[in-house]
Amino acid sequence: MYSDKVMDHFSSPRNVGEIENADGVGEVGNAHCGDIMKIYLKIEDEVITDVKFKTFGCGAAIATSSIATEMIKGKTVEEALKITNKAVVESLDGLPPQKIHCSVLAEEAVKAAIEDYQKKKAQ
């Protein structure tokens, strides 16, 4: 049902935790399935230098959060904004159709954290 990559990121998630005084924080959730993702960003000179996540949800939600943090770490804010749920799914070697919403949440959480960063920066 799940690829080896999904199982790896679920059983050994990368970048778990919180960042104190994060430059951007994005939290998204899906009341239907109960998955909630929170992504924390540390940004220097428009580059994401650190990223952490906390996810309450199923294995696919944890795996998509983990891979999404790996995909954006070291990238510019502009590059990270281009992350798509399709890219998240491809990076995990696929997800079952009923779990695609988890990749959508990962994309939305990244974008929400960047939006939060941009709002703070504009003040």
pLDDT tens-digit map of 78-87? 999 999 999 9
Residue among 61, 67, 92, 102 flagged as catalytic: 102
**Distance separating alpha carbons of residues 92 and 86, to the nearest angstrom:** 10
Mean pLDDT within 118-123: 93
Q: Could you report the per-residue pLDDT of 4-39, keeping only the tens digit for each? A: 999 999 999 999 999 999 999 999 996 676 899 999
Q: Using alpha carbons, select from 80, 90, 82, 96 the residue that is nearest to residue 33.
A: 96
Q: Are 37 and 109 in contact (CB under 8 A)?
A: yes
**What's the whole-model pTM score?**
0.95
Q: How confident is the model at residue 123 (pLDDT cuts 50, 70, 90)?
A: confident
Residue among 7, 16, 19, 33 flagged as catalytic: 33
User: What is the third-level CATH fold of 4-122?
Assistant: Sufe protein. Chain: A (3.90.1010)
Annotation says 58 is catalytic: no
Q: Are 37 and 57 in contact (CB under 8 A)?
A: yes
In 3-state terms, what secondary structure has residue 81? helix
DSSP bridge pairs for 101? none
Q: What share of the chain is helix, strand, coil (3-state, %, to 5)?
A: 50, 25, 30
